[in-house]
Amino acid sequence: MTERLEALKERLGQVADIGHASALAHWDQLTMMPPRGGDARAQSLATLSRIGHELFVGDDTERLLDRAAAELNGGDADGDDARLIALTRRQWEKARRVPADLAAELSHASSVGQEAWVAARAASDFAGFVPYLERNVELARRYVECQAGADGFDCAYDVLLDDYEPGMKTTEVNRLFAELKDELVPVIARLSAAEVEIDVRPLTARFPVEGQRALVEEVVTMMGFDRQAWRIDDTVHPFATRVGQGDVRITVRWDERFFPGGLYSAMHECGHGLYEAGISPKLRRTPLGAVDSLGIHESQSRLWENMVGRGRPFASVLAPRIGQLAGGELGGLDPETLYRAVNRVKPSFIRFDADEATYGLHIAIRFELEQALIDGELSVADLPEAWNERYARYLGLQVTDDADGVLQDVHWSAGLFGYFPTYALGNLIAGALWERAGAELDLDAQLAAGELGPLREWLGEHVHRHGAKFTTPELLEREVGGPMSVAPFVHYLKTKLEDVYGLRLSE
């Protein structure tokens, strides 16, 4: 390694270290922190954000970038070092336009907002949450204004989307979502009208939390959970984070009258954790060692949660253990019953628990509302009405409780505007990866035997180890041979639902 490149990596390592400290403080806030610690934690996170931002955008970073690039001139453009310089420069160009004071304000408002959201959601009190959300929207608009005139952004929402899916355009998301809706809406209508009985009573049968914990521990261990490098804890809204190399945290919430919530959220978050843990150690403490695309990130969690967890093969592993650990009404649970129950298509209020067919509509609603909020076409005070109208129009549901409506997600309380689209993009990417993995592995036999290692290793080789080295389009071209498309996911979903319902859904 050259001296100048080594100096750049050391500076980037310091920025990464500050990010790791912030991740730990944030994890603690949402799992262990006593309620009265919120104000102090918000200030601590704001300070860490300011320090990290100033360190990254400083003139010294630019000089180190220039000198390292000069040393690598003529080298392999696809090598790790060249890719590191290119990614860092892109991130630096965007970050340097944001004042340190604003970066600190964004962090502080995020922390305070999340604490307010927990209380508001518990009381279904949107009015009490309005000031916090208005603050986050105001700050998001100020953040967007910082990028005025910058190349690559065609509208305000592009700026926010770029933080989570670099280079993706709002127009492209609109196009993909329109295609997805055109495919899924008729499927949902067809299945809703079909006179096919699916027994979902097992899903709400009593399953004591102690037994659920044992089941989840077994499942995530099969996936690759490592007690020496991971933790699993309880929280209100499940999430995963990596504090640093060898330190992955995942969280779960429990409901003894709806065990799929805990089981599948654990598989979802463990999927995120496997990605973080699988990044090549040689990329650590650099931007390449932190996942840049949340679409790719979500593809991992959605693949493990749905394609594995809700698939027919793995149901033969899950059902017997559920019966043994829960007993009672769930004693002797049949794999076929479990498989069909967890794949029933039925519009519901909660995104978190939505089936695979209706899930994309939940995301489309949030995507539309976010754009309207940022563009000033919708006020925060009018958000519940707009939310409820779309749930009635898209899903045929009448929302009567804000806790199950506009307050159900943590994202807006944390100022994460632009994040939601990546969930549905993740489904599309997962569909393509699942298709390719299925062509190279004997997935059905392996999953039915509870052998999850081959799939984990395949994903590690084709996705995880690269970290942020490749953009989403580049990674998809390398690993699935083409751009992002709705076709593989739609094919996978229709094939599964035809199996579940015994109906023809494809033309």
Tell me: the pLDDT tens digits for 155-208? 999 999 999 999 999 999 999 999 999 999 999 999 998 889 999 999 999 999
Determine the angle formed by the axes of helices 170-193 and 487-501, rounding to 10 degrees.
Answer: 10
- 159 is a domain residue: no
- 158 is a domain residue: no
Is there a contact between 18 and 52 (Cβ–Cβ < 8 Å)?
Answer: yes
Same structural domain, 174 and 145: no
Residue 237: predicted pLDDT: 82
Separation in Å, CA 478 to CA 345, 470, 473, 475, 495: 34, 9, 9, 5, 26
Tokens of 89: 């420069």
Instruction: Give the residue from 119, 151, 183 where a domain finishes.
Output: 151
Same structural domain, 260 and 140: no
Residue 40: predicted pLDDT: 96
Amino acid identity of residue 282, one-letter, is: K
Give pLDDT < 70 ranges for the chain.
Answer: 1, 507
Same structural domain, 315 and 432: yes
User: What are the two backbone dihedrals, phi and then psi, of residue 506, each rounded to the nearest 5 degrees?
Assistant: -95, 150
Is there a contact between 225 and 270 (Cβ–Cβ < 8 Å)?
Answer: yes
- 84 is a domain residue: yes
Same structural domain, 174 and 104: no
Q: Is the pTM of this model over 0.85?
A: yes
Residue 507: predicted pLDDT: 64
Instruction: Give the residue from 151, 184, 212 where a domain finishes.
Output: 151
Tracing tokens 């603690």 back to the chain, one arrives at 28
d(CA 123, CA 106): 25
Say how many residues make up the chain.
507
Q: What are the beta bridge partners of residue 248? A: 230, 242
- 157 is a domain residue: no
d(CA 362, CA 391): 8
CATH number assigned to the domain comprising residue 370: 1.10.1370.30
Same structural domain, 143 and 184: no
Same structural domain, 349 and 278: yes
Same structural domain, 495 and 388: yes
d(CA 435, CA 447): 15
Same structural domain, 333 and 221: yes
Same structural domain, 208 and 276: yes
Closest CA to 489 of 336, 360, 346, 297: 360
Catalytic residue chosen out of the listed positions 115, 183, 269, 370: 269
- 164 is a domain residue: no
| Residue 269 a catalytic site member | yes
Same structural domain, 262 and 131: no
Q: What b-and-e string marks burial along 99-108, b requiring 16 or more CB atoms within 10 Å of the CB?
A: bbebbbbbbb
- 163 is a domain residue: no
- 187 is a domain residue: yes
How many independent structural domains does the chain possess? 2
DSSP state of 284: T
d(CA 34, CA 208): 26
DSSP state of 331: T
Amino acid identity of residue 41, one-letter, is: R
- 475 is a domain residue: yes
Same structural domain, 236 and 303: yes
Residue 449: predicted pLDDT: 97
Same structural domain, 435 and 290: yes
Residue 313 structural domain: 170-501
Q: How many CB atoms lie within 10 A of CB 376?
A: 10
SS3 sequence of 115-160: HHHHHHHHHCCHHHHHHHHHHHHHHHHHHHHHCCCCCCCCCHHHHH
